[in-house]
Amino acid sequence: MYKCAIILAAGEGKRMKSDLSKVLHKVSGKEMVNHVIDTMKKSNLLDINVIVGKCAEAVKAATISRSVTYSFQEKQLGTGHAVLSAKEFLKDKTGTVAIFSGDAPLITMETVEEFLNFHVKQEFKATILTSIVDDSKKYGRIIRDEKGTVLKIVEHKDCNAEELKVKEINAGMYCFDIEVLLDSLSKLSNDNAQEEYYITDVIEIIRAQGLKVGAIDVPFEETLGVNSRIELAQAERVMKNRINTKHMENGVTLIDPENTYIGTEVEIGNDTIIYPGNIIEGRTIIKSNCLLYPNSRISDSVIEEGVTIQSSVILESHIGKETTVGPYAYIRPESEIGKHARIGNFVEIKKSKIGDNTKVSHLTYIGDAEVGSGCNFGCGTVVVNYDGKKKYKTIIGNNAFIGCNTNLVSPVEVKDNTYIAAGSTITKEVPTGSLAIARARQINLEGWVDRKGLKK
Ligand code: UD1
Ligand code: CA
For the segment 376-407, what is each residue's pLDDT rounded down to a tens digit? 999 999 999 999 999 999 999 999 999 999 99
- CA–centroid distance, residue 391 to ligand 1 (Å): 51
Q: Is 296 in the pocket of ligand 1 (CB under 6 A)?
A: no
CA of 153, closest atom in ligand 1: 11
CA of 33, closest atom in ligand 1: 30
Q: Is 105 in the pocket of ligand 1 (CB under 6 A)?
A: no
- CA–centroid distance, residue 451 to ligand 2 (Å): 85
CA of 199, closest atom in ligand 1: 15
Selecting among 156, 318, 340, 362, the annotated active-site residue is: 362
Q: Is 225 in the pocket of ligand 1 (CB under 6 A)?
A: yes
Ligand 1 pocket test, candidate residues 60, 101, 133, most atoms within 8 A of CB: 101
pLDDT value for 12: 84
CA of 12, closest atom in ligand 1: 26
pLDDT value for 1: 86
- CA–centroid distance, residue 172 to ligand 1 (Å): 7
Neighbours of ion ligand 2 (CB under 5 A): 103, 225, 227
Q: Which residues of the chain have pLDDT under 50?
A: none
Q: For atom 34 of ligand 1, which residue has the closest CA? A: 11
CATH for the 312-456 domain, from 1.10.3720.10, 2.160.10.10, 3.40.50.11690, 3.40.1190.20: 2.160.10.10
Query: With the CA atoms of 118, 124, 128 and 130 taken in that order, what torsion angle do they form, in degrees rounded to the nearest 10?
Result: -50
For the segment 219-236, what is each residue's pLDDT rounded down to a tens digit? 999 999 999 999 999 999
Q: In the annotation, is 81 catalytic? A: no
Ligand 1 pocket test, candidate residues 79, 103, 192, 227, most atoms within 8 A of CB: 79
- CA–centroid distance, residue 227 to ligand 2 (Å): 5
Fold classified for 3-223: Spore Coat Polysaccharide Biosynthesis Protein SpsA; Chain A (3.90.550)
- CA–centroid distance, residue 227 to ligand 1 (Å): 9
pLDDT value for 445: 97
pTM summary value: 0.94
Mean pLDDT over the full length of the chain: 97
pLDDT value for 408: 98
Report domain extents, the chain. 3-223, 312-456
Do domains 3-223 and 312-456 share one topology? The answer is no
Q: Over the range 286-304, which residues count as b (16 or more CB within 10 Å of their CB) and which as e?
A: bbebbbbbbbbbbbbbbbb
Ligand number with the minimum distance to the CA of 200: 1
